[in-house]
Chain A
Amino acid sequence: EVQLLESGGGLVQPGGSLRLPCAASGFTFSSYAMSWVRQAPGKGLEWVSGISGSGSSTFYADSVKGRFTISRDNSKNTLYLQMNSLRTEDSAVYYCAKESVLIPAARQSHFGHWGQGTLVTVSS
């Protein structure tokens, strides 16, 4: 059974940093691209960042480019999101999601499995 478990969320001041891990199990982690998707309170879904199965290719939404870094440790079956220079508008539930393909947005790409999410609140 595929399981994705995010952690690391919490309250942080504007300008601060936070690192979100997502522990994966139940599948061959390195064979699938992974993404982070966030949802601000009462709002819709926003794709944040994606990474290929090998970790060699990374992709970002313009809203986080230069501030967030996605990475993965395939030996530990763990996905990460390093968030720096946080802004109040980054407050959201952050989900890690498993893609169906090796590279984000490749043909037949879809998010078949999601974690339960971790809440990040950026506030002074």
Chain B
Amino acid sequence: DNQMTQSPSSLSASVGDRVTITCRASQDSSNYLNWYQQKPGKAPKLLIYDASNLETGVPSRFSGSGSGTDFTFTISSLQPEDIATYYCQQYDNLPLTFGGGTKVEIK
């Protein structure tokens, strides 16, 4: 299986800060990587697909980059409504696998 390792597992930042989350795949995944946001008690929401494409309607402060085994997710200016857990997910091969999640909190 293609194991996805996210870091950090949690972070605390101030409103307006730049936040960066990394995701490392155990196998070359090209750009076959998606990012989701999950707020407490809610279903996940797609933010970024194919490593760097912003889903329609998602604020431009969210971005993604990377290819191969190393990927980065960035919030350029953290907002209070961004408090959530973020997951990466590869679809290079089955089984589809998710990273362990990064919980983002406000300092």
List which A8-65 residues lie within 8 A (CB) of chain B. Answer: 35, 37, 44-47, 50, 59-62
A47, A95, A110: most-surrounded residue (chain B CB, <10 A): A110
| Pairwise interchain contact B46-A44, C-beta atoms closer than 8 A | no
Contacts A111-B36, A112-B55 given; indicate if A45 touches B46 (C-beta within 8 A).
no
- The stretch from A69-77, A80-88, A100-108 touching chain B is A100-108
| Pairwise interchain contact A110-B46, C-beta atoms closer than 8 A | yes
- The stretch from B16-24, B65-73, B91-99 touching chain A is B91-99
A7 to chain B, nearest CB (A): 15
List which B30-44 residues lie within 8 A (CB) of chain A. Answer: 32, 34, 36, 38, 43-44
Interface of B is mostly: loop
| Pairwise interchain contact B96-A35, C-beta atoms closer than 8 A | yes
| Pairwise interchain contact A95-B43, C-beta atoms closer than 8 A | yes
| Pairwise interchain contact B43-A116, C-beta atoms closer than 8 A | yes
| Pairwise interchain contact B44-A105, C-beta atoms closer than 8 A | no
Q: How extensive is the interface on chain B, given as a class? A: 20 to 34
Partner of B32, one of A62, A107, A111: A107
B104 to chain A, nearest CB (A): 14
> Please, which residue of chain B has its CB at the minimum distance from the CB of A48?
B95
| Pairwise interchain contact B94-A104, C-beta atoms closer than 8 A | yes
Q: How extensive is the interface on chain A, given as a class? A: 20 to 34
Contacts A44-B101, A111-B36 given; indicate if A117 touches B94 (C-beta within 8 A).
no
| Pairwise interchain contact B34-A111, C-beta atoms closer than 8 A | yes
User: Which residues of the other chain, B, contact A111 by a CB distance below 8 angstroms?
Assistant: 34, 36, 44, 46, 89
Partner of A45, one of B32, B50, B93, B98: B98
Bound-complex Cα distance A60 to B1 (A): 12
